[in-house]
Amino acid sequence: MHEVRVHGGRDLVLVTKIKGQFHCTGAKCPHFGASFSDGGCTEDYLICPWHNAKFGISTGESVNGTFFVSRMSFNTGPCFDAIPTYKVEVDEGCLYAYLPPTPIPDSVAMPRKLSSDKDQRVFVICGGGAAAHAAAETLRLEGFNGRILIYGDEKHFPYYRPHFTKRLETTDYDMVAASQALRPVEWYRQHQVEFYGGRRVSQVNHASNTITLDDGSTVKYDKVLVATGTTASKLPLTKGMDDLTNHFTLRTADDFKRLMGQIKPGSNVVLVGANFIGCEMASSLKAAGAKVTVLTDLPGPMHQIVGPRVSSALLKLLQKEGVNVLTNQTLKGYTVKKNRVTQVVTSNKTIDADVVIEGVGARVNVDVLKCAEVNADGTVNVDESFRCKGCPENVFAAGDIVRYPYHVDGSPISVKHWNVALQHGKVVAKNMLGLDAKMNMVPFFWSNFFRKGFRFAGVANGVDDIVVEGDVDKYKFVVYYFKGSKAVAMMAMGMDHVGAHMAEAIDKGCVPSLSALTLGAENSETMLQCLKKRIM
């Protein structure tokens, strides 16, 4: 891969050679402007080094990803837009690319398939999040011209939820909220997607092919997608304390708005929970000038996700940045005066608090599905097409609420990542149209806090061994997670060139074995070489 300056040096394009074939595309991922040359490529895709977004080398099509923020503004759009591609020719040893005289755009809209026949069907989508929007947009891109009705609990049109935990230092809610909309309101009108915000679906009536709304009215459907997501969990000790004015969870845009009014320089903010969202909030709260205390019942941040060695390094990072991290704590209760929490009480500490934020997980919203197979964790089982098991064939589910077959080994998995939910929406929409699509994505998520970024790929439930490569104390390392001798997940920090390839390496079987890593015979560089050989 080589970046080439064009238009008198004002623009960049990327020239890639894959199995003897040259390709010319935009040089930057449209998400935050990361250079594809710092990421990677496969036989078919360019990979963003930061967020694992993938784009077709030949078509520019977005294969998976999160969303993008233009490098020049805060205008946003979801992962459906493509990167530009340009025709190339080789003549007498010279490579020619046919570029327009106009500036190279960050992204281009994917063409919509057209159908001359009016479709009389009605597709109803329950939920207004990532999977819901992705499904609606994919239905239109694939040429469906019947009615699409979206019913969302929140009044807001679909927006990019993960960014809120990273923006607590801002004081301009309207700017942040506007910048996170997945599409402008006009897009829904132009594409005839009927969005009904603040309307909760109370039940899917599969026998009559209707949904019941919170006001008792019903809506007929031909096919229905349930993508109702999750609700932030609260600790049992807060039961009956709904009127607390300084106690929060952070899940929705409205949560963010309420919380913004409470954060001031010097405020004592107590975060209950030290998962990756808790670490993100600690970082943005410190940037806002707050005094931050993090409580966890574990030995360190994200201990169950990343393992003890990395967790210890993250603990030191938070402490170095001035965060008071209290580990191995049992929360006993809150001291409340005049509807405000004034102190947080643990087994051996009492901490003064101006604001308390609980980040203790989420519960899935599946009460609307009476026909589904429900697991102990509340998720519902779906097949490869995202049809709900136990329900009629015209009932689908996607996003955080589902447990679906993992293409790597066939095991059922539940993954609550934003970009996974987006991909669910794309796949389920195609299956609602009878196109037989499959979910072939290795789960990937990323996080940034205190100017450090990490990338995580795979599924690390019940691992047997963890191997660390690199310098954990310098925050430049790769972690391998094994079940038996097989690598099932990887994490990278400070090594974007490795992070960009982890999901692909897991998918293609290029991750070193446990014995090879332990003996020092292989490492992340040999993994990258394995992938490189596939495109030579």
Lookup: tokens for 124 = 């109803």
Q: pLDDT category, 69, cuts 50, 70, 90?
A: very low
Given a cut of 50, is residue 257 above it in pLDDT?
yes
Query: In this predicted model, what pLDDT tens digit does every residue of 107-141 receive, in sequence order?
Result: 898 888 877 778 999 999 999 999 999 999 999 99
Amino acid at 320: K
The burial of 298, by beta-carbon neighbours within 10 Å (0-12 exposed, 13-18 middle, 19 or more buried), is given as middle
Q: How far is CA 321 from the centre of its chain?
A: 26
DSSP annotation string for 380-407: EEB-TT-BBTTS-TTEEE-GGGEEEE-T
Supply the CATH classification number for the domain 122-232+363-432. 3.50.50.60
Query: In this predicted model, what pLDDT tens digit does every residue of 169-202 receive, in sequence order?
Result: 776 777 777 778 889 999 999 999 999 999 999 9
Q: How large is the average pLDDT for residues 496-522?
A: 94
pLDDT at 68: 43
**% of the chain beyond a pLDDT of 90:** 76
Q: pLDDT category, 79, cuts 50, 70, 90?
A: low
SS3 194: strand
Amino acid at 473: D
State how far the Cα of 500 lies from the Cα of 504, in Å rounded to an integer: 8
Mean per-residue pLDDT over the chain, rounded: 91
Query: In this predicted model, what pLDDT tens digit does every residue of 351-361 receive, in sequence order?
Result: 999 999 999 99
State how far the Cα of 181 lies from the Cα of 328, in Å rounded to an integer: 39
State how far the Cα of 419 lies from the Cα of 422, in Å rounded to an integer: 5
Q: 57 and 47 in contact (C-beta within 8 Å)?
A: no
Q: pLDDT category, 395, cuts 50, 70, 90?
A: very high
CATH architecture of the domain with residue range 451-533:
2-Layer Sandwich (3.30)
Nearest to 53 by CA among 38, 66, 35: 66
DSSP H helical segments within 210-324, as ranges?
A: 253-260, 276-287, 303-306, 308-320
The burial of 217, by beta-carbon neighbours within 10 Å (0-12 exposed, 13-18 middle, 19 or more buried), is given as exposed
The CA angle 446-449-452, to the nearest 5 degrees, is: 80
State how far the Cα of 217 lies from the Cα of 206, in Å rounded to an integer: 15
- The DSSP symbol for 441 reads -
More confident residue, 79 or 512: 512
Question: What is the spatial order of strands in the sheet that 324-326 belongs to?
Answer: 247-248, 355-358, 268-272, 291-295, 324-326
Q: 131 and 422 in contact (C-beta within 8 Å)?
A: yes
Lookup: tokens for 89 = 């020719």
- The owner of tokens 């954990």 is 472
Q: How many CB atoms lie within 10 A of CB 99?
A: 15
Count of helix runs (H) and strand runs (E) in the chain: 12, 38
Contacts of 153 (CB under 8 A, 6+ apart): 127, 128, 198, 199, 200, 228
Per-domain residue ranges for the chain? 2-97, 122-232+363-432, 236-358, 451-533
Nearest to 256 by CA among 234, 292, 232: 232
47: β partners: 40, 54
SS3 450: coil
Query: In this predicted model, what pLDDT tens digit does every residue of 279-299 receive, in sequence order?
Result: 999 999 999 999 999 999 999
Task: Give the torsion through C-alpha atoms of 270, 446, 499, 315, to 10 deg.
Answer: 10
Q: pLDDT category, 164, cuts 50, 70, 90?
A: confident
Nearest to 207 by CA among 388, 371, 387: 371
Q: Given this structure, which CATH class describes domain 2-97? A: mainly beta
b (16+ CB within 10 A) / e for 152-172: bbbebbbbbbbbbbbbbebee
Domains 122-232+363-432 and 236-358 share a fold: yes
236-358 CATH pick, 3.40.50.740, 3.50.50.60, 3.40.50.720, 1.10.3720.10: 3.50.50.60
Lookup: tokens for 223 = 């096919």
SS3 11: strand
Given a cut of 60, is residue 76 above it in pLDDT?
no
Lookup: tokens for 50 = 């930061």
Lookup: tokens for 34 = 């990361």
User: 418 vs 51, 95, 207, 443, CA distance in Å?
Assistant: 11, 40, 32, 10
Q: Where are the beta strands (DSSP E) in 48-105?
A: 54-56, 62-64, 67-69, 76-78, 85-86, 88-91, 94-97
More confident residue, 322 or 67: 322
Query: In this predicted model, what pLDDT tens digit does every residue of 300-342 receive, in sequence order?
Result: 999 988 999 999 999 999 999 999 999 999 999 999 999 999 9
Given a cut of 50, is residue 387 above it in pLDDT?
yes
pLDDT at 369: 95
Lookup: tokens for 271 = 């975060």
Q: How far is CA 386 from the centre of its chain?
A: 19
pTM, two decimals, is 0.92
Nearest to 275 by CA among 253, 295, 245, 257: 295
**% of the chain beyond a pLDDT of 70:** 97
Amino acid at 79: C
